[in-house]
A = this chain, B = another copy of it.
Amino acid sequence: MNEFETIARLFLPLTRGEPGAFGLGDDAAVLSPRPGFDLVLTKDAIVAGVHFFPDDPPETIGAKLMRVNLSDLAAKGAVPRAFLLAAAFPPDAGPGWAPAFAAGIGADLEAFGGALIGGDTVSTRGPAFFSLTAIGEVPAGTMIRRRGARAGDLVCVSGTIGDAALHVARKLRGRAVRGEAHLAARYLKPEPRLALGQALRGIAHAACDISDGLVADLGHLCTQSGVRAVIEAGLVPLSPAAAASIAADPALVETVLTGGDDYELVFALPPEADVAALAAVTPVTVIGRFEPGQGVELRDPSGLPLQLTRTGWQHPVGRDEAGA
C-alpha cells in the first residue's frame, strides 16, 4: 500500500456512514439538500507559516482547518453537513502527523456534525497546505448575508475579541504573558459559533465571522451593506488574559481590534431585538451602532475618535508577506 492509499484509509472513518461519500472510492460524492433547504458552500485554505505555525500540534491544525470553515457556516446560520478536503502534508512530517491531523478533523466532525465526503491528497516540496470546502444547510432562502445592515442597527459581537492575535504577537516576540495558555487555546482551536448563527436566522440583518480582524471584517460588512459602523472601543469584550495584556501594554489594544483569527461573529441586530435571549445561547455584546455613511469609526471612552495605524492584516503569522 502506498502513502496515498494509507492516507485514504485514514480518512475513511471520517465519512461517518454518509452514503453519498461512497467510501471515498469514487473520486466524487453525491449530495442534495433535504426538501425545503438550501446548501451553503464555503471554502477556506490554510498554509503553514501563514495561517498556522509549522510547529502547531497536527491535531489542532486539523481542528483549525475545520473551524475556520465552520465559522463561515456559522455566520450564514447554516448547519454543517459535508466537507471535501485537499491536503498537501508537510514533506518532513513524521508517520504520526497525518493520523493526528485526521484525528483533529474527526473529533470536530463528532462535535459539530457533518461528514467528509471527498477530497484529494497531493505531494508538495513546499509548506503544508490544506483546503477545505464546507457545505451546510439552511431552510431555503434564510442564509444570513453580509449585506443587509441598516442605520440604527446594533453592532454586536460574540465571545471575546483579540485573544488569538495576542497569542501570535506573543509567539512572534517570544515574551511570555499572563494567561498565555488561554490565548494559545483560542488561536489553536477557535470556537465556531454555530448555535448562535442558527439563532440569528430571521433576526440579524447581516453577519460575518472575524477572520481578518474586527475592524477589517466589520468594514467588509459595512461596505456590502452600504452603512457606517461606530464602535466604542471600551465596550469590546475582552478575556481576562487580553485585559491583563492591555493593562501591561496599552498599545496592544490595536492588536486586539485589528488582529485576526478570532472566528467570533460580528452582526447587525435591529434595536428592538432581544439580545438577552441570544446571549443565553452564546455570549453577545453590543459594541456600537450602524449609521448612515461608510467605514468603521472607533471611539475611545471619552467619545473621541481612536486612530489606528492599520486597519487589519491578512494573517499575522505571515503578515510581512500577506500585507504586501
A40-65 contacts to B, CB under 8 A, are: 40-47, 49-51
Q: Which of B33, B127, B133, B318 contacts A32 (CB 8 A)?
A: B33
**Chain B residue nearest in CB terms to A33:** B32
User: Is there a chain B Cβ closer than 8 Å to A274's Cβ?
Assistant: no
Q: Is the CB of B122 within 8 A of A41?
A: no
Q: Which of B32, B41, B131, B224 contacts A131 (CB 8 A)?
A: B131
Q: Give chain B residues whose Cβ lies under 8 Å from the Cβ of A44.
A: 86, 120
Task: Give the distance in Å from the alpha carbon of A224 to the alpha carbon of B28 in the complex.
Answer: 14
**Number of identical monomers bound together in the oligomeric complex:** 2
User: Is there a chain B Cβ closer than 8 Å to A102's Cβ?
Assistant: no
Interface residues of chain A, those whose CB is within 8 Å of chain B, are 2-4, 22, 25-33, 37-47, 49-51, 72-73, 75-76, 78, 82, 84-86, 88, 91, 117-120, 122-127, 129, 131, 133, 135, 138, 140, 143, 145-147, 208-209, 220, 224, 314-315, 318, 321-324
**Chain B residue nearest in CB terms to A124:** B47
For the complex formed, measure the closest distance between the CB of A240 and the CB atoms of chain B, giving whole angstroms: 31
Q: A117-B41, A129-B88 are in contact. Are A50 and B122 (CB under 8 A)?
A: yes
Interface of A is mostly: mixed
Q: Give chain B residues whose Cβ lies under 8 Å from the Cβ of A117.
A: 41
Between-chain CB contacts (< 8 Å), 27 pairs: A22-B145, A25-B220, A28-B72, A28-B76, A30-B38, A30-B41, A30-B138, A31-B38, A32-B33, A33-B33, A41-B117, A41-B118, A42-B84, A43-B84, A43-B85, A44-B86, A45-B131, A47-B122, A49-B125, A91-B321, A120-B131, A123-B322, A123-B324, A124-B129, A125-B126, A126-B129, A129-B129
Q: Give chain B residues whose Cβ lies under 8 Å from the Cβ of A42.
A: 27-29, 84, 118
Q: A26-B147, A147-B26, A208-B27 are in contact. Are A133 and B43 (CB under 8 A)?
A: yes
A41-B84, A43-B85, A86-B86 given. 20 additional CB < 8 A pairs? A3-B324, A4-B314, A25-B147, A25-B220, A26-B146, A30-B143, A33-B33, A42-B118, A44-B120, A45-B86, A47-B126, A47-B129, A50-B125, A88-B129, A120-B131, A123-B314, A123-B322, A123-B324, A124-B127, A124-B129
Closest 9 CB pairs of A and B: A126-B126, A131-B131, A45-B86, A86-B131, A28-B42, A43-B84, A133-B133, A126-B127, A123-B322
Q: Is the CB of A143 within 8 A of B28?
A: yes
Task: Give the distance in Å from the alpha carbon of A131 to the alpha carbon of B117 in the complex.
Answer: 16
For the complex formed, measure the closest distance between the CB of A138 and the CB atoms of chain B, giving whole angstroms: 8
